[in-house]
């Protein structure tokens, strides 16, 4: 029999039976609506700054997190003021809730208006400046994903994504084209997925994250379904709309963010008189890559 040599490396080892190796307990991911944060972001008295949508304590993560792999924020910009950001992420997603302005990094710049979406490589030092009116941005990154691995943002020029701009008018135009498709092409929903030349083959926004502008016509309901990817949803517009999440009714609030837990049976319903729009970020890129999306209807 071999003699066990006691070393610092051997003392670090841990051994588990198969009964104990896979029963790791994690806090449940709740269905949640960030109403208070929405109200602060839209309050004219709120100063320029970032408002994280943080469930990190409830999720048991080491830092701020909206979901285990995603961190979302509101950014409020007073008219004429600017805000500098740098996120430890592989990429950054922005939606312009209100106002107009410009984001600059290095020698590059994107001018934006309400309804626009744009993305930046992670790790860049960017400055966001509002024009003559207050502006509100919704920002989503995968900082918790990198933090989980103790990883860092990519070096300049090494990010998996390049800066890309989706003007609001073009997003609406693409949605109109989808609404004209025959019913058999829109059975899973009337949505436009936002990707880029760098990730065209993956059809994702970041390698791990998907981004789509979804819609519901007046009186329309989405068929109940589930998937393994979590959904972080920003309500863009829609009066008298709600979601059903595992049998619980969740009322929509314009410009509020909702969490749909992974594998939860859910559906969306528009009982109002106008088109409903909702922007959804999912960690679906990881599940696509691992072939474990797990999409199914009720």
What pLDDT digit, counting tens, does each position of 211-242 carry?
999 999 999 999 999 999 999 999 999 999 99
How confident is the model at residue 186, as a pLDDT? 74
Measured distance CA(7)–CA(51) in Å, rounded: 47
Residues 6+ away with beta carbon under 8 Å from 73: 50, 51, 52, 53, 138, 139, 140
Measured distance CA(269)–CA(272) in Å, rounded: 9
How confident is the model at residue 20, as a pLDDT? 80
Contact 141, 94 (CB under 8 A): no
pTM of the model: 0.95
Domains of the chain: 28-297 (2.60.120.10)
How confident is the model at residue 247, as a pLDDT? 96
> Where is 111: in which H helix or E strand?
strand 108-113
b/e sequence 105-122, b meaning 16+ C-beta within 10 Å = beeeebebeebbbbbbbb
Read off the tokens for 187: 């059975």
Q: What phi, psi does 288 have (nearest 5°)?
A: -60, -45
Mean pLDDT in order along the chain per 10 residues (298 residues): 78 87 87 97 98 96 96 98 98 98 97 98 97 98 97 93 97 95 78 96 96 96 95 96 97 98 97 97 96 94
Residue 188 pairs with which residues in a beta bridge?
none
Residue 128 pairs with which residues in a beta bridge?
83, 103
Residues 6+ away with beta carbon under 8 Å from 48: 76, 77, 78, 81, 82, 83
How confident is the model at residue 184, as a pLDDT? 75
How confident is the model at residue 1, as a pLDDT? 54
Residue 241 pairs with which residues in a beta bridge?
270
Report DSSP state, residue 83: E
CA 259, 69, 254 angle in degrees (round to 5)? 30
């Amino acid at each position: 029999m071999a003699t066990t040599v006691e070393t610092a490396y051997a003392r670090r080892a841990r051994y588990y039976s198969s009964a104990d190796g896979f029963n790791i307990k994690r806090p449940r991911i709740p269905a949640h609506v960030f109403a208070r944060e929405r109200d602060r972001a839209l309050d004219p008295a709120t100063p320029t700054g970032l408002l994280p949508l943080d469930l990190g304590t409830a999720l048991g993560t080491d830092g701020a997190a909206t979901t285990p792999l995603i961190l979302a924020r509101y950014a409020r910009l007073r008219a004429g003021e600017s805000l500098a950001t740098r996120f430890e992420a592989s990429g950054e997603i922005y939606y312009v809730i209100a106002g107009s302005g410009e984001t600059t990094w290095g020698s590059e710049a994107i001018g934006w208006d309400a309804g626009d979406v744009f993305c930046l490589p992670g790790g860049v030092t960017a400055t966001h400046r509002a024009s003559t009116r207050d502006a509100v941005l919704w920002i989503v990154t995968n900082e918790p994903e990198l933090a989980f691995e103790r990883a860092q943002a990519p070096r300049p020029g090494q990010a998996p994504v390049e800066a890309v701009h989706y003007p609001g008018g073009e997003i609406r135009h693409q949605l109109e084209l989808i609404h004209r498709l025959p019913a058999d092409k829109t059975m899973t929903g009337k949505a436009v997925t936002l990707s880029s030349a760098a990730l065209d083959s993956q059809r994702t926004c970041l390698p791990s994250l998907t981004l789509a502008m979804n819609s519901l016509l007046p009186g329309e309901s989405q068929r109940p379904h589930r998937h393994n990817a979590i959904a972080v949803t920003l309500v863009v517009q829609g009066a008298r709309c709600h979601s059903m999440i595992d049998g619980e009714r969740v009322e929509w609030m314009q410009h509020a963010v909702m969490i749909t837990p992974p594998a939860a049976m859910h559906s969306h319903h528009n009982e109002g008189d106008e088109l409903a729009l909702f922007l959804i970020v999912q960690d679906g890129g990881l599940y696509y890559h691992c072939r474990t999306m797990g999409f199914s209807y009720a």
